Amino acid sequence: MSPSSSTSERPPPPTGGLFDGVLSRGPVGAAVSPSAWLRALLEVEAALALAGADTGAVPPQAARAIAVACEDDAAYDAAALGRAAAAAGNPVVPLVQAVRAAVGGDAAAWVHLGATSQDVLDCAASLLSRRALAMVAADLAAAAGAAAGLARRHRDAPALGRTLLQPALPTSFGLVAAGWAVGLDVVAARVRTVAAGLPVQLGGPVGASAGPARAALAGRLGLAEPLLGWHTLRWPVADTAGCLATASGIVGKIGLDVVLLAQGEVAEVLEGRAGTGGSSSMPHKHNLVAAVSARAGALRAPGLAGTLYAAMAQEHQRAAGAWHAEWETLSDLLRCTGSAASWLRECLEHLRVDAPRMLANLHAAGVPGADGGVPPGVGEQVDRVLAAR
Amino acid sequence: MSPSSSTSERPPPPTGGLFDGVLSRGPVGAAVSPSAWLRALLEVEAALALAGADTGAVPPQAARAIAVACEDDAAYDAAALGRAAAAAGNPVVPLVQAVRAAVGGDAAAWVHLGATSQDVLDCAASLLSRRALAMVAADLAAAAGAAAGLARRHRDAPALGRTLLQPALPTSFGLVAAGWAVGLDVVAARVRTVAAGLPVQLGGPVGASAGPARAALAGRLGLAEPLLGWHTLRWPVADTAGCLATASGIVGKIGLDVVLLAQGEVAEVLEGRAGTGGSSSMPHKHNLVAAVSARAGALRAPGLAGTLYAAMAQEHQRAAGAWHAEWETLSDLLRCTGSAASWLRECLEHLRVDAPRMLANLHAAGVPGADGGVPPGVGEQVDRVLAAR
Amino acid sequence: MSPSSSTSERPPPPTGGLFDGVLSRGPVGAAVSPSAWLRALLEVEAALALAGADTGAVPPQAARAIAVACEDDAAYDAAALGRAAAAAGNPVVPLVQAVRAAVGGDAAAWVHLGATSQDVLDCAASLLSRRALAMVAADLAAAAGAAAGLARRHRDAPALGRTLLQPALPTSFGLVAAGWAVGLDVVAARVRTVAAGLPVQLGGPVGASAGPARAALAGRLGLAEPLLGWHTLRWPVADTAGCLATASGIVGKIGLDVVLLAQGEVAEVLEGRAGTGGSSSMPHKHNLVAAVSARAGALRAPGLAGTLYAAMAQEHQRAAGAWHAEWETLSDLLRCTGSAASWLRECLEHLRVDAPRMLANLHAAGVPGADGGVPPGVGEQVDRVLAAR
Amino acid sequence: MSPSSSTSERPPPPTGGLFDGVLSRGPVGAAVSPSAWLRALLEVEAALALAGADTGAVPPQAARAIAVACEDDAAYDAAALGRAAAAAGNPVVPLVQAVRAAVGGDAAAWVHLGATSQDVLDCAASLLSRRALAMVAADLAAAAGAAAGLARRHRDAPALGRTLLQPALPTSFGLVAAGWAVGLDVVAARVRTVAAGLPVQLGGPVGASAGPARAALAGRLGLAEPLLGWHTLRWPVADTAGCLATASGIVGKIGLDVVLLAQGEVAEVLEGRAGTGGSSSMPHKHNLVAAVSARAGALRAPGLAGTLYAAMAQEHQRAAGAWHAEWETLSDLLRCTGSAASWLRECLEHLRVDAPRMLANLHAAGVPGADGGVPPGVGEQVDRVLAAR
């Protein structure tokens, strides 16, 4: 396989789907696209060569030539590599051939030195995950900020507390929004912790080699250095799955609350900037797209995380299928959670709150204490949450 | 949104991924691609107009104009529709606008008559699923045929039966392969039954309208006519999920058996046509790609099916997120199972069986009856399976 | 292990849990309890002996002695058998020893003839599943009947159709309830079909033996006779998982609708017989227990079904772990779905519908056509559903 | 409901199941049994009263009377409480009545002061989880220690590295076992971190109250004090799910390796103490119970964790079903992972390693370097792992 010479064979743009507008909002979709995977794999091959030069295993000139050849990802044909992967069982085998062809000369022999396919693919997965997790965390944090803003603005807005979806007792919308902020802060922190711990992978064909190369590669890629290879001990993938499913769970819960509060009969919140959000087909109907789409993304997380947990049953020194099952699943889980977080941010940043309606609903419910305003101590709880952020 | 006029904005080819060679083998990937979804949505809009003409609700000339405008899917820009879907919450809203623009004139008013977005998208999902399920069933049936061939050829080949992966008692490889055939036959039948029952959807904005239009549309699309709309009663999606997860389960089991029988220490089967399958990097190593890739696809099915089951909790007359969560999940489940079935077919059609090694392993295990050949009645069981197919 | 002689060692009652009232309603909990498993295993051992007598393989007198010894399940100590199972890897090994001890004399040698542990346990699972599925189907059918009754009584009750939980257009509550009835009818049929097809298992240590014994055992147990053993081809378990997850999905959807319609701000339905259902702690609050508990049971089904699908990856002639993972999971899935169906039946049989409030909500929503009563054709759709039942 | 006066109504022993020997090994089964839940609920009611006394809200004498009444869990009838829970929707409502009856007099009025049912049940869940997680971590750590011991003893034992279950290149069994130790150490640490962070719950009917009572209760129960109530923001449950699924994944991987290494054709390891482990029915067969049972428990974790993640969609201030779906699922996930960890500990503490056979298999595989002993640097990697523990 040689780098493609024709633009007509260029890989397709990362997002071409009919459903991307709804299900792939935000930056994560592009960050885990086939193109992004290709770029990450090339980055790893480049870093491997440069790390080899760092430790004296690779001639510096060869390392530089390899790094240059890996820079132009447009010179590689993702679709053709994908097809060739069918013969080898993974796309790294044909990619290495393509890189060697692009490097040419004596330097070609130094490409992929000491690495196995899984080393390169796992490193690329760690890189992609780290970047995508940072994006997820940023949207979660922005959504948390928006929730905190709602909590501050509506600190003293009485609202009906509902248990089992039945009227229960008074609370405040400030406290509700403060709860959203706390939940989002917690999961943003979880996501950042996992991102910071994602490890490099370098162990050669059976994971037995290590030496200085691994530390050097970790340094080059900015990944953590693990005590040992994790080719078939997939705690880093499981950690990623866990923080994403947890984040999706919190996002989905808040999206659910917004959907319920926006019901016609409740009408306590409305989505979207003032003056926008009308439906063209039913003029009387107000679109509720952001919370709905946030829920849609979040709903996929438990199943995808479950697959990654189940795929931890990996045989001996390289799994016969379970590793391969991770690739798309991990990408999808990052993308779905990222889309959900991005939609929730949009939702909360433009949520319009109808405090008078909240008060009216509280009164109409006829629950005890409905006339007493916000219960004692609730405002202080909101303050404590805001102060702790 | 108008149909795109430039080929440079054409939707990307259905498969551009680095992982498609391994994880999207066979025809299903293309059958559930964004382009296929676009074509199916257009087919439904065309059939809706023609069905309207059938029942006298739409002027025949307008119906023909709409059908013509829906034929050229290349005139529509899937990526732009996908982006526009973000505002509407689903891609049918901008698509209808684009079809109206393409039809033009008075006929444009008859586009999408009496339908809601979910009607069109659910019909397209049924169409896509029916076609993809047929492909899955074909590969399952072909794999079953290959397994039956193995059973016939090795009817009398003694082999070691293993329980808990320990040597147990003698059996025959013919019986093992006959079991594979039975399992594959069962799931192929399950898949065909579900495909045949997939229903049309037509109920308008809240699912309340039906009348002759639904029967006519069912006839036009070749889908079953349900007793009532199933907008939020998702048994057809659950049926699809169930038959695919079951099929993946059987495929994964057989892939697992092949992987285990191909182990270096067991060496009773080998994958691939004679003379092929060598590894370029480790000349001593024989590639085992098909069974491994079959397992990889199959491993994703339980989590994806679980998501579709969980997404059955759909509110009132249209769900606020759970319906949207189906779109990609269903596509992925069809594609993964299709890829797994296609790989298993490849695996079994070219499986090389080392009967002498089977006999040697049986003798080496030192289990009772190892010297007695195939146990009595085993050959007859194989015959019975072959006769029943 | 011998049968216990002291009542103080009797197995505990099937339901002793703090959560059983909420999560194990109805007959299925007892039908899949440890005691029920013990009885079913004994039934299978008895039927195996009698089937052996049918085919001439076992002396009739020995078969009768075995059947007698298997009748008194109270003579066996489930907890002790459970502990002893730890050494053997499954409870059938110590159970067979206990049965032999109970039978005594020459007849003891004919106990368990030709069977392996998995034969007996799988047969017991088929028996238990068939019975529990019949119970699930009965509650689903009763719930469907209740829904049909609601559809009949409220055929012409205008109601607000809601999409994405927003007011959309008019429908009727009769149509909503007819949809519930259709969904429940469909899944009850699915459950009955699976129950009717559950097969016997008899193949001996490596599944290689069959002969007339299997047909005789199938006849004795009233189970289907499969073409071949399915020791590691788990389509019957997958079929069971699929129909239960589908049923739970429909039950959960209806429970969700009830919860939403019962919200204080909507107040279109109320749970419970007139005069009941008050809350002791919050007098203003009305308990909503049945729909909530139905949802709780239903929510567990996707994960449990996913586990059973994933557990289909069973090695060679007996799985090293995946088979064992089925036992409790299958019991739980039957029990959770059974509880959900029983709760939904209770919910729908006593659902109080506030038709005037429905009309008032419809008017208040200000949607087009709100003043026109039930839309044309809706009543006829309800009639069609009722006629088809 | 009053405390039961008769021992004949005593709750059943925690484990009475036929499958407990295989699927509920170790201490966790009892720690999450119905009896343990009852004890934990009573502990929380006692601590609530004492914490109330700490803050001056409850008269000390009343608090002491309540604490005394909560000490004798045998005075409460779990089964009857479970049945009564069906009317209230959870078991805390009847339990509070029973505690009040047991306390009697004026002190009875101080029972459950300021708490809602979910406060008590969530606190009990945190208590149970913290204790069960400690047990899980202890077995994981012991298993890690056993693995480290194997790594030390077999530091220099050459072994065949296998990728995709095919012979690849030499490694050492010491490195394989060191990998197991690292994986187990990582997940034991994850489990301990989650256990340490489990928070108290106290917010009253709609989660709006807090004040000094929550801090005092946290102190009494030894639980963390959260910034805010988490009644419907379920990150603590998700954290628990994640660490358990990750732990099960690692345990399942090691169990899988043991099963594969113990295959008759590989025969590199054997389970059990020398002289034990024979099979009574097939004398030639060696029981492989521990690794198989470890896998069985681990296989259930992904589905159970998926359910807990999906159940995070909790409405408003108390969920209508999703909270209830947690109770048994969480118990099961703790128990299954605990059983798996306990079985793996048993497996690794008594694993018999056949180093000569490993060497023979390596030679027989004919892979490059097979004659060179352990590859360079592998021993040092093992040393590094052992030094870091």
d(CA C251, CA C249): 5
Asked whether the predicted pLDDT for residue C326 surpasses 60, the reply is yes
Does residue C8 have a pLDDT over 60?
no
CB B341 within 8 A of CB B136: yes
Burial B240-278 (b: 16+ CB within 10 A, else e): bbbbbbbbbbbbbbbbbbbbbbbbbbbbbbbbbeeeebe
Burial of residue A153 (CB within 10 Å: 0-12, 13-18, 19+) is: middle
List chain C residues with CB under 8 Å of B384. Answer: 227
Residue C298 CA to residue C304 CA, distance in Å, equals: 10
Closest CA to C35 of C69, C81, C98, C96: C81
Please list every residue in chain B whose beta carbon sits closer than 8 Å to the beta carbon of residue C158: none
Q: At what angle do helices C117-153 and C211-221 cross, to 10 degrees?
A: 40
CB contact under 8 A, D235 and A165: no
Return the structure tokens found at A42: 């090339």
For chain B, 389 residues long, give each residue's pLDDT as a single digit of tens. 344 333 333 333 333 589 999 999 999 999 999 999 999 999 999 999 999 999 999 999 999 999 999 999 999 988 889 889 999 899 999 999 999 999 999 999 999 999 999 999 999 999 999 999 999 999 999 999 999 999 999 999 999 999 999 999 999 999 999 999 999 999 999 999 999 999 999 998 888 887 789 999 999 999 999 999 999 999 999 999 999 999 999 999 999 999 999 999 999 999 976 555 445 455 556 678 999 999 999 999 999 999 999 999 999 999 999 999 999 999 999 999 999 999 999 999 999 999 999 999 999 999 988 888 899 999 999 999 999 98
All chains having 3 or more CB pairs closer than 8 angstroms to chain A: B, C, D
Looking at the complex, report in whole angstroms how far the Cα of residue D328 sits from the nearest Cα belonging to chain B.
18
Whole-number pLDDT of residue B384: 95
Residue D10 scores a pLDDT above 60: no
ipTM comes to 0.94
| C98-136: burial string, b at 16+ Cβ within 10 Å, e else | bbbebbeeebbebbbbbbbbbbbbbbbbbbbbbbbbbbb
Residue A353 is encoded by which pair of tokens? 């709150």
* Residue C129 CA: distances (Å) to CA of B153, C37, C231, C315: 37, 11, 16, 24
Tokens of A360: 């009216």
pLDDT digits (tens, 9 = 90+) for D218-234: 999 999 999 999 999 99
Whether C235 sits inside 8 A of B190 (CB atoms) is yes
Cβ(B321)–Cβ(A296) below 8 Å: yes
Whether A357 is a known active-site residue: answer no
Q: Does residue A133 have a pLDDT over 80?
A: yes
Q: Residues D151-173: what's their mean pLDDT?
A: 97
Closest CA to B120 of B45, B49, B70: B45
Reading the block at residue A320, the tokens are 């016969």
Q: Spot the catalytic one: A279, A352, A384, A389.
A: A279
Q: Which residues in chain D are contacts of C237 at CB distance < 8 A?
A: none
**Residues paired with B160 in a beta bridge:** B170
Query: Do A174 and D208 contact (CB within 8 A), yes or no?
Result: no
- Degrees, nearest 5: CA angle B197-B201-B207: 135
Distance, in Å, from the CA atom of C267 to the CA atom of C356, rounded to the nearest integer, reads 11
Residues D238, A245: C-beta atoms closer than 8 Å: yes
In which element (H, E) is residue A347 found? helix A322-349
Helix (H, G, I), strand (E, B) or coil at B48: helix
CB contact under 8 A, B169 and C381: no
Give the one of A169, A264, A292 whose C-beta lies nearest to C167's C-beta. A264
Which amino acid is it at D385?
V
The shortest CB-CB distance from D324 to any of C15, C293, C327 is to C293
pTM for this predicted structure: 0.96
**Closest by Cα among A272, A265, A287, A298 to B321:** A298
Interior CA angle at C379 toward C377 and C385, to 5°?
105
Distance, in Å, from the CA atom of C116 to the CA atom of A271, rounded to the nearest integer, reads 63
Contact criterion met (CB below 8 Å) for C207 and B169: no
CB C248 within 8 A of CB C298: yes
* Choice among C83, C279, C384, C389 that is catalytic: C279
Distance from CA of D304 to the nearest CA of C (A): 6
Q: pLDDT tens for residues B87-120?
A: 989 999 999 999 999 999 999 999 999 999 999 9
| Residue of D298, D303, D322 with shortest CB distance to C306 | D303
What 3-state class would DSSP assign to A274?
coil
The reported pLDDT for the residue numbered D240 is 98
Q: Are B338 and B135 in contact (CB under 8 A)?
A: yes
In the numeric block, which tokens belong to residue B26? Answer: 């066979």
Among B160, B264, B292, beta carbon nearest to D365 = B264
Per the CB < 8 Å rule, is D166 touching B264? yes
- CA angle (A68 as vertex; A62, A70 as ends), nearest 5: 105
Q: For residue B124, count other CB atoms closer than 10 A to its CB.
A: 26
Report how far residue B311's alpha carbon sits from residue B329's, in angstroms, rounded to the nearest whole number.
Answer: 10
Token pair 């005594």 is found at C104
**Neighbour count for residue D275 (Cβ, 10 Å):** 6
In 3D space, the residue among C313, A32, C315 whose CA is nearest the CA of residue B301 turns out to be: C313
Verify whether residue C279 is a known catalytic residue: yes
Question: Testing the interface with B: which of A18, A20, A25, A330 to mutate, by most B Cβ within 10 A?
Answer: A18
pLDDT at C13: 38
φ/ψ (deg, to 5) at B160:
-85, 125
Please spell the DSSP secondary structure of B202-250, one letter per residue.
---TTS---HHHHHHHHHHHTPBPPSS--SS--HHHHHHHHHHHHHHHH
Residues 6+ apart with CB under 8 A from D177: D147, D148, D150, D151, D154
Looking at CA atoms only, how far is residue C10 from chain A in angstroms? 38
* Distance in angstroms (rounded) separating the CA atoms of residues A364 and A360: 6
10 Å CB burial of residue C219 (0-12, 13-18, 19+) is middle
